[in-house]
Copies of this chain bind each other. A is one copy, B any other.
Amino acid sequence: MQTVSPNDSYGFQVEDLGSRTVSSPYKAHRFVRDDERTVHETAISSQGDRADRGTSSLRSSFELAGPREKIYFDPTKIRCGIVTCGGLCPGLNDVVRAIVMQLFHHYGVRNIYGFQYGFEGLIPRYAHEAIMLDPKAVAHIHQRGGSMLASSRGPQPTEEMVDALERLNIQVLFCIGGDGTFRGAENLAEEIRRRNLKISIIGIPKTIDNDISFTGRTFGFETAFSAAADVIRGAAVEATGAFNGIGLVKLMGRHAGFIAAYAALASRDANFVLVPEVDFELGGENGLLANLYRRLRERKNAVVVVAEGAGQQFFDEDEGSSTDASGNVRLRDIGLLLKERITQYLRLMEVPHSLKYIDPSYLIRSAPATASDSLFAGILGQMAAHAAMAGKTSMFVGFWNHQFTHVPIAAAVAKPKRLNLEGNFWQSVIECTGQPHRMTNEAVGLCDSPEEVLVASCASA
């Protein structure tokens, strides 16, 4: 596997299958050179360290995506494949459509296979037929949610999959998926190298949780937090529609609270946002329950948003932890736990209340992409096709500093993305909800007076 060192003199280096000898049939007004790059780190300071940090940031940079003048594959002979893996995510069809349109119309590729049900589609024993993809087959798919290729969770045997690629004479495989898929794609690339094959593996990052590093945006995330914001608004309507109404919303976010945080900030209707990155306690003077009590006392309603990965420490370790087909630890249901604990607590406190619990997960995953995500996913697909034709491999298409980039898959796999609790964004969430910076008890009295939760909420109710 190639070395990924963000600090070496050229930054994130992407692997090539070999030297390019074919003139691109693509009609660009300007082709992109491999040495055009964008810096990874953009922060500088005028306090002395400027030059140094600047120099160092130069070294860490990403190759720009785009059409290359010389390409590696002969488009008239190439056979390409596409798989969509993991959970559904808005925009999948836009990516598939754009890859097909680009390859077909602009490179003249005529053999594009859609493998059904994720990596299963490459394993003979599942007997999932591949679909021939051309402009007619994909013309309208971007107007629907889901994936026309369907999906599945979990890995499949690497060798069997490479066997299939060889047998079907596939030169490019586009893998649209998340970190599990990317690990699978890395394995594929490694096996391909081992066999000395010339097959390109191109990733397009799909993570509704927005937790893949080295890309500033992933498709579907905006659709997801937009839909989630509507759900929070609904919860606020319910919360204000009853005396001491509580709207409790569980959102996606296994390890990263991006959807919860963005949706809360977009709706401006949440009073508490609980994310995996921030520990909180239920009990104690500064725990969630006491804060919720105070909120109800003063405002007669509350909206609580919780990411599915938050508060996992409240579950009994002894229950054992199972994993799903993708190898993800099965999360215990923090939404239901909060629902029970809040209800119990308020009954004990003799506070009449009305709690409405909303878990919109699949409604969000199955939505068609917003216009903005549709646009973004479409360009991702276009760029993925350019990268593939140029013979790039073991990379994914990222987005950085408003440019589309090539990033080694290994880099993303190595380091997942999390909410930066020191940054302005999380600060804005705290501001907007009015929730305490911390809902743990050791620090009470220092930074957050328990009473202040009520004063500062910018929410509507």
List CB contacts (< 8 Å) of A412-449 with chain B: 421-422, 424-425, 427-428, 430-432, 434, 437, 447-448
Q: Are B45 and A135 in contact (CB under 8 A)?
A: no
- A286 near B: Cβ within 8 Å? no
| C-alpha gap A430/B233 in the complex (Å) | 34
Q: Which of B58, B150, B372, B379 contacts A226 (CB 8 A)?
A: B372
Instruction: Tell me the nearest residue of chain B to A38, going by C-beta.
Output: B42
Q: Are A88 and B238 in contact (CB under 8 A)?
A: yes
What is the distance, in angstroms, from A208's C-beta to the closest C-beta of chain B? Answer: 13
Chain B CB within 10 Å, residue with most, of A98, A268, A367, A370: A268
Chain B CB within 10 Å, residue with most, of A44, A144, A241, A242: A241
- A222 near B: Cβ within 8 Å? yes
Q: Are B146 and A140 in contact (CB under 8 A)?
A: no
Q: Are A42 and B44 in contact (CB under 8 A)?
A: no
Interface size on A (CB < 8 Å)? 118
- A456 near B: Cβ within 8 Å? yes
A65-B424, A434-B105 as given contacts; A225 in contact with B371, CB under 8 Å: yes
List CB contacts (< 8 Å) of A210-259 with chain B: 216, 222, 225-226, 229-231, 233-235, 237-238, 240-243, 245, 247
Q: Are B135 and A427 in contact (CB under 8 A)?
A: no
- A43 near B: Cβ within 8 Å? yes
Q: Which of B42, B152, B363, B371 contacts A401 (CB 8 A)?
A: B42
Stretch touching chain B among A14-22, A169-177, A304-312, A352-360: A352-360
What is the distance, in angstroms, from A333's C-beta to the closest C-beta of chain B? Answer: 12
Q: Are A240 and B371 in contact (CB under 8 A)?
A: no
| C-alpha gap A88/B233 in the complex (Å) | 14
Q: Are A374 and B268 in contact (CB under 8 A)?
A: yes
- A406 near B: Cβ within 8 Å? no
Q: Are A371 and B267 in contact (CB under 8 A)?
A: yes
Q: Which of B37, B50, B455 contacts A44 (CB 8 A)?
A: B37
Chain B residues whose CB sits within 8 angstroms of the CB of A27 once the complex forms = 437, 447-448
- A181 near B: Cβ within 8 Å? no
Q: Which of B51, B238, B374, B403 contacts A266 (CB 8 A)?
A: B374
Q: Are B363 and A461 in contact (CB under 8 A)?
A: no
- A393 near B: Cβ within 8 Å? no
What is the distance, in angstroms, from A356's C-beta to the closest C-beta of chain B? Answer: 5
Q: Are B458 and A362 in contact (CB under 8 A)?
A: no
Q: Are A382 and B431 in contact (CB under 8 A)?
A: yes
- A394 near B: Cβ within 8 Å? no
| C-alpha gap A126/B449 in the complex (Å) | 30
Instruction: Tell me the nearest residue of chain B to A434, going by C-beta.
Output: B105
What is the distance, in angstroms, from A87's C-beta to the closest C-beta of chain B? Answer: 9
Instruction: Tell me the nearest residue of chain B to A88, going by C-beta.
Output: B241
| C-alpha gap A126/B33 in the complex (Å) | 51
Q: Are B241 and A371 in contact (CB under 8 A)?
A: no
Chain B CB within 10 Å, residue with most, of A10, A262, A402, A427: A427
Chain B residues whose CB sits within 8 angstroms of the CB of A36 once the complex forms = 43, 45
Instruction: Tell me the nearest residue of chain B to A225, going by C-beta.
Output: B371
List CB contacts (< 8 Å) of A36-54 with chain B: 36-39, 42-47, 50-51, 54
Chain B residues whose CB sits within 8 angstroms of the CB of A44 once the complex forms = 37-39, 58, 61
What is the distance, in angstroms, from A180's C-beta to the closest C-beta of chain B? Answer: 15
A421-B29, A422-B29 as given contacts; A366 in contact with B456, CB under 8 Å: no
Q: Are B431 and A102 in contact (CB under 8 A)?
A: yes
What is the distance, in angstroms, from A300's C-beta to the closest C-beta of chain B? Answer: 9
Chain B residues whose CB sits within 8 angstroms of the CB of A356 once the complex forms = 362
| Pairs of residues from A and B, 4 with the lowest C-beta to C-beta distance, nearest first | A226-B371, A101-B458, A146-B237, A234-B366
